[in-house]
Amino acid sequence: MLKNPEKKHSGMHFGANLLVIHGRRFSNTAAKFWSALIDELAEDFGHCRKVALETANEGRLNPALLFPEFELERELNRGDLSLAGINEALQQALEDFELYGPPGAVSLRIYSARGERERLVFPMDCVDAEIFLHLLAWLLEWSELPLHCWNDPEIKGAFSADDPLRGFKYSFDFMIEHKPLSEGLLAWRLDLKFGRRSSRSGIILPPASLEARSPRR
């Protein structure tokens, strides 16, 4: 999803099918994205230990971003599901798209010990400005940060994650910043220091009942 999306890495699988964080199991899109990003950076940019992701968005960070399917279900339950109601909703969506356009892109800065080495833009089918907020929300959730600080101008967090299926241990140390631009638009920046190493000891998975199903309160 970075510099060479068409490149085939022989025998290399990017992204964890399962991450264990604080004793809970995660196999969602966020777990796949963040582990795949580190995998690809380790493969193609071995010198890199820090990246910055940037975009602009009108949204805010809140627990509803962790499980967007729940919010969609609530919207459907509140809406008019008749044919006329569905047509009206589609028309409104098209009008909004014409007015606001597609979501913005997310850029990636790659750093080594010598400073910034490269600047890339994620493909839109990988992540865009709207999806980015969902991915940020999961970093905050995994860091077990209290909800009242999720929209502070500067947020710091850290956690580690185990991939028991491939034997990797990931470390995340990040800072999220947002600054107002204009008309409710915010400039978002994630500075992420990361690591990946092989796990030598086996990891015992928790019972299925401990798998994360809902955000912390």
Work out how many domains the chain is built from and give that number: 1
Residue 6 included in any domain = no
Q: What is the pLDDT of residues 73-107, one digit of tens each?
A: 555 456 655 666 656 656 665 555 565 556 899 99
Residue 153 included in any domain = yes
- The model carries a pTM of 0.79
CA–CA distances in Å: residue 99 to residues 39, 162, 192: 38, 43, 33
Residue 9 included in any domain = no
Over residues 35-55, the mean pLDDT reads 94
Residue 210 included in any domain = no
Query: Which domain range does residue 132 map to?
Result: 19-203
β-bridge partners, 96: none
First to last CA, the chain: 33
Residue 142, SS3?
A: helix
Residue 123 included in any domain = yes
- Do residues 105 and 89 touch, judged by C-beta distance below 8 A? no
Residue 25 included in any domain = yes
- Do residues 119 and 110 touch, judged by C-beta distance below 8 A? yes
Separation of alpha carbons 125 and 106, rounded Å: 11
